[in-house]
C-alpha cells in the first residue's frame, strides 16, 4: 500500500516581529528537497493537481490563505485543509491528489523530491488505479 499521507507540524518561531516556519530535509520532510514551486493567482473555483506520481514525494504548504487537498490511494479518499504557514501536507508516491477551494489570494508552496519529469506523472485516473492494483503491496 502507498505510504500514508500525513500532516506535518512545522517548527515555528514567532515573536513581536512576526512568524517564521522552517522545513529541513530529514527532520520535517523525509526526502532531499530538489525542487520548489508555488501556485498563486488561482481563480475562484479553479482546481489544480488532478494527477498522481510514480515516485515523487512532496510537502505542500499554504503559506498564505487556504486550500483543500483531497488524496486518493486508489482505494479511499481523504481531505485535508491547509490553512496556515506552519502546517504541511506530506504526499508520497502513488497518491492521486486534487487541490480545490483556494481562498482568494492563496499561495501554496510545494517542496518536491525531484526535478520536474512528465514521465513520473499519471495524468489519467484509470491508468493510476490500474497501476495501484498491479503493484505488489
Ligand atoms: P500542472 O501539472 O498542470 O500543475 P498542477 O499540478 O499544479 O495543477 O502543471 C502546469 C504546467 O506547468 C504544465 O505545463 C507543466 C508545467 N510544470 C513545469 O514545467 N515544472 C514544474 O515543476 C511543474 C510543477 C509544472
Per-residue confidence (pLDDT) for residue 137, from 0 to 100: 63
- Residue whose CA is at the smallest distance from ligand 1 atom 3: 49
Which amino acid residue places its CA nearest to atom 13 of ligand 1? Answer: 118
- The stretches in the chain having pLDDT less than 50 are none
pLDDT in tens, 79-102: 999 999 999 999 999 999 999 999
- Domain 6-134, CATH among 1.10.3720.10, 2.60.40.1890, 1.20.1440.230, 2.60.120.10: 2.60.120.10
| Direct distance between the N- and C-terminal alpha carbons of the chain, in angstroms, rounded to an integer | 5
Q: Which atom of ligand 1 approaches the CA of 118 most closely?
A: 15
DSSP 8-state class, residue 133: H
Q: Is 51 a catalytic residue?
A: yes
- Looking at residue 77, its pLDDT comes to 98
Q: Which of 13, 51, 53, 101 is catalytic?
A: 51
Confidence (pLDDT) at 81: 98
Separation between Cα atoms, residue 33 and residue 68, nearest integer Å: 23
Residues contacting 39, CB < 8 A, separation 6+: 48, 99, 102, 106, 107, 108, 110
Residue nearest atom 17 in ligand 1 by C-alpha distance: 116
CA 67 – CA 70 distance, rounded (Å): 10
Longest dimension (CA), the chain: 53
Q: What local confidence, expressed as pLDDT, does residue 56 receive?
A: 98
Q: Interface pTM (ipTM) of the complex?
A: 0.96
Amino acid at each position: 500500500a502507498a505510504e500514508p499521507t500525513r500532516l506535518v507540524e512545522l517548527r515555528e518561531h514567532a515573536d513581536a516581529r512576526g512568524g517564521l516556519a522552517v522545513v529541513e530535509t530529514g527532520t520535517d520532510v523525509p526526502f532531499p528537497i530538489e525542487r520548489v514551486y508555488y501556485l498563486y493567482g488561482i481563480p475562484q473555483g479553479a482546481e489544480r493537481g488532478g494527477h498522481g506520481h510514480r515516485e515523487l514525494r512532496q510537502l505542500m504548504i499554504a503559506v498564505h490563505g487556504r486550500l483543500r487537498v483531497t488524496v486518493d490511494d486508489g482505494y479511499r479518499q481523504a481531505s485535508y485543509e491547509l490553512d496556515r504557514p506552519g502546517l504541511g501536507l506530506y504526499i508520497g508516491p502513488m497518491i492521486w491528489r486534487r487541490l480545490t477551494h483556494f481562498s482568494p489570494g492563496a499561495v501554496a508552496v510545494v517542496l518536491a523530491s525531484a526535478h520536474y519529469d512528465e514521465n513520473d506523472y499519471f495524468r489519467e485516473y484509470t491508468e493510476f488505479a490500474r497501476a495501484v492494483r498491479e503493484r505488489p503491496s
